[in-house]
Amino acid sequence: MIRLAVAQIDTVLGNVDANLEKHLSRIDEAVQEKADLVIFPELSLTGYALQDLTSAVARPASAEDPTFKVLLEASRSVDILAGFVQLDSRNRFYNSAAYLSRGEFLHVHQKAYLPTYGLFDESRFFAWGDVIRAFDTPLGRLGVLICEDFWHASPPYLLWLDGADLLLFMSASPGRGLDTQEALESARWVEHVAQAYASLFTTFVTNVGRVGFEDGLGFWGGSVVFDPHGELVARGPYHEESLFVAELDPQQLHRARTRLPLLRDERTELVQRELKRIRHTRMPGPRGLGTLSE
C-alpha cells in the first residue's frame, strides 16, 4: 500500500518563507499520518499569479538553496512533491516541481505547456520546459505534470509509456464557470480529464489543487485521486484547505491490466510512424506548430 497525502493549501503570494513554513507543518501532519509521499499544488512555494515577482522568488533546484536545504532534510521522513520557480544557470525562470526523497532531488519537472490566453499569462514570465520523463522513486516509477501539461494528451501518454504507474498532477486553477451544478465548470473539467487518464491508461492519477484567492481569482481545491479502473478513491473539499490521505493498492494495477490490457496492446511503433508523417506533412515548423501545408 502507498499512503499518499494530498496537501490542498492556500499560499502567500511571493513570500517563500511563509509558504515554506506551511509546507513544513503539512509535512509534519503527513508524517504523523504515516504517509509515504505528500504532494503540494503548482507553485506551492511561491503563489501563482506572480507576474513581476517571478524573478524575485526564483531559486535553483539545489541542495545549497536555503529553502530546499530545509525541504530536503524534511524529505528524510516522507517523500515530498512541491512547486516552485526554478532559476537555471542562464537566468531563465521555469514553473517547476521538485520531487524530494531521502534527502535528495529525484526529479525536477519544468512545465512544458505554458497557458498564455484568456486569464493566463505564463509564457510572458516563464521559460518553456522541454522534457517529459518518468522517474524512479522508493514508491515505484512516477510521473509529474503541472496543470496545462495535462490538458495536452501527449504528456500523460508519454509518462504512461515511460513506465509511470502513478501520475501526479499539480494545479493552481482559478475557478470559473458558475452555473447550476455543484462544482464550477473548471473543477468539472479537471476532474473529467484526470478520470479519463486513469481509465485510458489503467493507472493511478491524482490531481492536487490549491485554494484561496489572489485578488479576484479564487482557487477551488477539489483535489482528486483515481484508481486504475478510473474510480474515485478520494476527493478534497472545494474551496477549503485540507490534507487527506489516500491508500493506493499497487495490486489494483495488476487487476486492472488483467481486465483491460491497454498497455500491453499499445502500438508505439505505429504511433511513431504516423506521428512522424503528420509532423512532416501537416504540422511543420520549429515546434511542430507551423501552418498546415495543405
Partner 1 sequence: MTRDEIMLEINPALARKILTGFIQSETTRAGFDRAIVGLSGGVDSSLACTLAAEALGPENVMAVRMPYTTSSADSLEHAGLVIEKTGVQATTLAISDAVDVLLNGIPEDQKVRRGNIMARMRMIVLYDQSADFRGLVIGTGNKTEMLLGYTTQFGDAASAINPLGDLYKTQVRQLAVEMGIPEVILEKPPSADLWIGQTDEGELGFTYEEVDKLLYLLVDRRHSPDDCVDAGFDRKFVETVVELVRRNHFKRVMPPIAKLSNRTIGYDFLYMRDWGT
Q: How far apart are CA 244 and CA 24, in angstroms?
A: 16
- Shortest distance, position 110 Cβ to partner 1, whole Å: 22
Q: Which residues contact 289 (CB under 8 A, 6 or more apart)?
A: 283
- Residue 235 · residue 206 · CB < 8 Å: no
Cα end-to-end span (Å), the chain: 52
- Shortest distance, position 61 Cβ to partner 1, whole Å: 24
Q: φ and ψ at 287, to 5 degrees?
A: -105, 20
Angle at the Cα of 110 from the Cα atoms of 79 and 24, rounded to 5 degrees: 35
- Shortest distance, position 218 Cβ to partner 1, whole Å: 5
Residues, the chain: 294
Rule CB under 8 A: say whether 130 interacts with partner 1. Answer: no
Rule CB under 8 A: say whether 13 interacts with partner 1. Answer: yes
Joined together, the cell numbers standing for residue 205 give 492519477
Rule CB under 8 A: say whether 179 interacts with partner 1. Answer: yes
Given candidates 28, 33, 65, 214, which one binds partner 1 under the rule CB under 8 A?
214
Footprint on residues 52-71 left by partner 1 (CB under 8 A): 52-53
Given candidates 41, 209, 212, 228, which one binds partner 1 under the rule CB under 8 A?
212
Rule CB under 8 A: say whether 245 interacts with partner 1. Answer: no
226's enclosing H/E stretch is: strand 224-226
- SS3 of 78-99: the string is CEEEEEEEEECCCCCEEEEEEE
- Shortest distance, position 114 Cβ to partner 1, whole Å: 16
Rule CB under 8 A: say whether 190 interacts with partner 1. Answer: no
| Interface region with partner 1, contact rule CB under 8 A, candidates 107-115, 181-189, 195-203, 265-273 | 181-189
Binding stretches for partner 1 (CB under 8 A): 12-15, 49, 51-53, 175, 178-184, 212-216, 218, 238-239
